Amino acid sequence: MSKLFAFVFWLALSGNIAAADFTFAAFGDTPYSPEEEKSFTLLIAGMNREQLAFVVHIGDMKAAWQPCSDELFQQRKEWFDLFHHPFVFVPGDNEWTDCSRLMAGRYDPLERLRKLRELFAQGTESLGQRRIALARQSKEFPEHARWEHQGLLFASFNVPSGNNGPASEENERRNRAVVEWISQSFKVAGERRMRAVVLIMHANPINRLGRFRPPFAKMMETVVAATRSFKGEVLLVHGDTHTYRVDKPLRYPSGAPRIDNFTRVEVFGYPTMNWVRIRVSEEAGRVTFHVTPGS
């Protein structure tokens, strides 16, 4: 046992390293309809009344049939600025990859992604009235963010639903960057002896049979390898299929034993507008995620 590890172990035993104990909120795939838009500020007000470390929106801040206009993006930004807590937004397919559709205004998806980055992924801090420091992967991919809280590492990724983005050289660079950001995040967590890693993105990468959907296979193979070698817990928070669930679906290859230190949470989505409360607690150095509907 190294002297450094022995010292850290002694600190933990002596009670000088506080066990993780906090709550954060996750939601997404909303608001879609005019009715949800009318109720959205009430949803925000409900979260503002809670004691939350931060709030994450996992993407799809609009319906696919709504225009991907600057005006709509700015209006969502004004709503997000109402959060009292630190706020992190992760892009979904409805606000960039699907913007080429006629009903969405036939925008260039990559141009819309650049607009999203301009509005929601600038600087070294989160959104929200109370802010936290964020590390960003690069100027090219600022929406890939990372932050730490009470011994846990959180990392966000631009992984939209559907085909994981339109076919292009720029899109290939983004997907390579996603894999690199996953690997780097687990490396940081291991070096700092963090107790858990939380991955946040929009797409549901696992189909009904428990297999990886093809556009996300390389990314998930990276997650599998990193999770197996990581000593703590791993939590994936996503949206996309609008089905609230908490499970342990990771088996790779198919039929292999379940990877028990991996948990998946999918948030609610249209037509159910609700948020998910994720309480983090720790006992004997092991982190547990307690997941419940927000209201």
Residue 258 forms part of a structural domain: yes
Q: Residue 98 in 3-state DSSP? A: coil
Q: Does residue 10 lie in a domain region?
A: no
DSSP states along 187-225: HHHHHTT-SEEEEE-SS--B-TTSPBPGGGHHHHHHHHH
pLDDT at 14: 38
For residue 236, being part of any structural domain is answered with yes
The residue segments making up the domain with residue 279 are: 19-293
In the beta sheet, which residues pair with residue 55?
25, 87
Residue 123 pLDDT exceeds 80: yes
What is the C-alpha separation between 262 and 289, in angstroms, rounded? Answer: 11
Confirm whether 13 is domain-assigned.
no
Q: Is residue 259 part of a domain?
A: yes
Does the pLDDT value for residue 5 go beyond 90?
A: no
pLDDT class of 17 with cuts at 50, 70, 90: low
Number of residues written out for the chain: 295
In a domain, 281, yes or no: yes
List the one residue out of 163, 161, 139, 149 whose CA is nearest residue 238.
Answer: 161
In a domain, 4, yes or no: no
Pairwise CA distance, residues 166 & 97, whole Å: 6
- Mean predicted lDDT score pLDDT of the chain: 94
Mean pLDDT of 269-289: 97
What is the value of pTM for the model shown? 0.93
pLDDT at 86: 98
User: What domain count does the chain have?
Assistant: 1
Q: Return the CATH number at 217.
A: 3.60.21.10
Going by pLDDT thresholds of 50, 70 and 90, the confidence category of residue 10 is very low
> What is the predicted pLDDT for the residue at 11?
41
- 188-234 pLDDT, tens digit per residue, is 999 999 999 999 999 999 998 899 999 999 999 999 999 999 999 99
Which pLDDT value is given to residue 3? Answer: 46
Domain-located, residue 288: yes
Q: Please write the tens of the pLDDT for every residue from 50-103.
A: 999 999 999 999 999 999 999 999 999 999 999 999 999 999 999 999 999 999
Quick one: pLDDT band at residue 4, thresholds 50, 70, 90? very low
Q: 217 CB contacts (<8 Å, ≥6 apart)? A: none
The CA-atom distances, in angstroms, between 10 and each of 92, 163, 191, 280, 282 are 44, 48, 18, 23, 17
